[in-house]
């Protein structure tokens, strides 16, 4: 096994161990849902590896208007922007099963995207379940996207080059927002970047994946996330929860990133095929050593650093055409 493969396998085992430790108390049952979510968040935050500093041009924390109060966002300016040019604006929705993670968990990821694309990145701290179940996250994602589009020029950005992006649950939100913008007549989305997105809350393929046994993202984890987000709403088949069930015509061009060791690989790639069938120009890239969550580990994982460079190049090229 090469040194790179050894690093990837070691990191996968580390992440699986962290997930196992974080979820062990709550999967036994009996805990109040809000207390259980708080416990998992605290355990994962405590076990998170320190990020390596990634310098950008400027970082600003702000609050933007939302349907239930202000939404915290973090705005990143790239380190070496194109002189005198209005920059692309990328709205980023973090992953975490609609229950976990925040602006800090994906800070390094957003810094790398800002520098690599040469874009202003607006990272959105949308409301989390179970305290705020579906459709709260969708509502916040939409409000933040509208705000970013309306304020793009004031931020130094180009409203005509508005990108939406996200990983896992955040990929779900990005896909849903692309549909919402189409259906409501704007804002115009130039491109969507979907990183191992959750697009089917019915879990048609992910629960039966052999990769649920790796410990990184198990069937129990996925069922718990869905229960916290959707509860007894029966919304698994609603398009704003499972965008793969929607009308996929007239949507922005897209890049879909998947990991071969991720239970979400199959549904992400199927979504890419359906987007292409609907008329979008779509590229799909599978990383053979990629497990769920690997993209957010570029500080420590060669495969993630490679994937980050790749998607930055894809987005840059897409915005030129």
Under 8 Å between Cβ of 114 and 56: yes
Check residue 207 and report its DSSP letter. G
d(CA 216, CA 119): 31
Catalytic pick among 94, 211, 255, 292 = 292
Cross-strand partners of 273: none
- Distances from the Cα of 240 to the Cαs of 71, 180, 230, 258, 288, in angstroms? 20, 9, 11, 21, 30
Task: Name the catalytic one among 105, 123, 168, 206.
Answer: 168
Instruction: Round to whole Å and give the CA distance between 54 and 111.
Output: 6
pTM above 0.85, yes or no: yes
C-beta of residue 223 within 8 angstroms of C-beta of residue 207: yes
In three-state secondary structure terms, 89 is strand
User: Which CATH superfamily groups domain 3-320?
Assistant: Alpha/Beta hydrolase fold, catalytic domain (3.40.50.1820)
Q: What are 215's two structure tokens?
A: 């410990």
Residue 168 annotated as catalytic? yes
Beta bridge partners of 87: 157
Q: Name the nearest CA neighbour of 214 among 284, 271, 290.
A: 290
What single DSSP character describes residue 81? P
Q: How far apart are CA 296 and CA 236, in angstroms?
A: 27
Greatest Cα pair distance, the chain, in angstroms, is 58
H-helix segments, 89-218: 107-117, 136-151, 169-183
Residue 3: its pLDDT value, please? 60
Compute the CA torsion angle 309, 15, 202, 166 (nearest 10 deg). -30
Q: Which of 93, 123, 101 is nearest to 40 (CA)?
A: 101
The Cβ of residue 17 has, within 10 Å, a number of other Cβ atoms equal to 13
Averaged pLDDT in 10-residue chunks for the chain of 321 residues: 72 92 84 94 93 94 98 98 92 98 98 98 99 98 99 98 99 99 98 98 75 84 94 90 98 98 95 99 97 95 95 98 70
CA atoms of 26 and 22, how far apart (whole Å): 8
Whether the Cβ atoms of residue 79 and residue 57 lie closer than 8 Å to each other: yes
For the question of residue 262 being annotated catalytic, the response is yes
Q: Which of 125, 158, 200, 262 is catalytic?
A: 262
Beta strand segments in 33-169, E: 58-64, 71-77, 87-93, 120-124, 157-167
Those residues with Cβ within 8 angstroms of residue 91's Cβ, 6 or more apart along the chain or in another chain: 121, 122, 124, 144, 145, 148, 162, 163, 164, 165, 177
Look at residue 204 in the predicted model and tell me its pLDDT: 67
Q: How many CB atoms lie within 10 A of CB 107?
A: 19
């Amino acid at each position: 096994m090469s040194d790179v493969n050894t690093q990837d396998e070691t990191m996968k085992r580390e992440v699986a161990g962290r997930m196992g430790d974080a979820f062990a108390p709550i999967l036994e049952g009996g805990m109040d849902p809000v207390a259980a979510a708080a416990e998992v968040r605290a355990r994962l935050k405590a076990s998170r590896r320190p990020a390596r500093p990634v310098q950008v041009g400027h970082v600003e924390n702000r609050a933007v208007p939302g349907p239930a109060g202000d939404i915290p966002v973090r705005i990143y300016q790239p380190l070496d922007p194109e002189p005198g040019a209005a920059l692309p604006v990328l709205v980023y929705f973090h992953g975490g099963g609609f229950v976990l993670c925040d602006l800090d968990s994906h800070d390094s990821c957003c810094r790398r995207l800002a520098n690599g694309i040469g874009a202003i990145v607006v990272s959105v701290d949308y409301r989390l379940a179970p305290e705020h179940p579906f459709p709260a996250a969708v509502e916040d994602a939409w409000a933040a996207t509208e705000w970013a589009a309306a304020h793009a020029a004031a931020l130094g950005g180009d409203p005509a080059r508005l990108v939406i992006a996200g990983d896992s649950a955040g990929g779900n939100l990005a896909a849903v927002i692309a549909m919402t913008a189409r259906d409501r007549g704007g804002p115009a989305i130039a491109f969507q970047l979907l990183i191992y997105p959750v697009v089917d809350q019915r879990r048609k393929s992910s629960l039966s994946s052999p990769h649920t046994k790796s410990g990184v993202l198990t069937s129990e984890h996925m069922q718990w996330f869905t229960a916290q987000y959707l509860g007894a709403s029966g919304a698994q088949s609603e398009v704003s929860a499972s965008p793969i069930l929607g009308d996929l015509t007239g949507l922005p061009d897209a890049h879909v990133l998947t990991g071969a060791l991720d239970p979400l690989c199959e549904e992400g790639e199927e979504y890419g095929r359906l987007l292409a069938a609907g008329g979008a120009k779509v590229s799909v890239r599978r990383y053979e050593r990629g497990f769920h969550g690997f993209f957010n580990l570029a500080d420590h994982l060669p495969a993630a650093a490679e994937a980050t460079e790749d998607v930055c190049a894809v987005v840059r090229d897409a915005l030129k055409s």
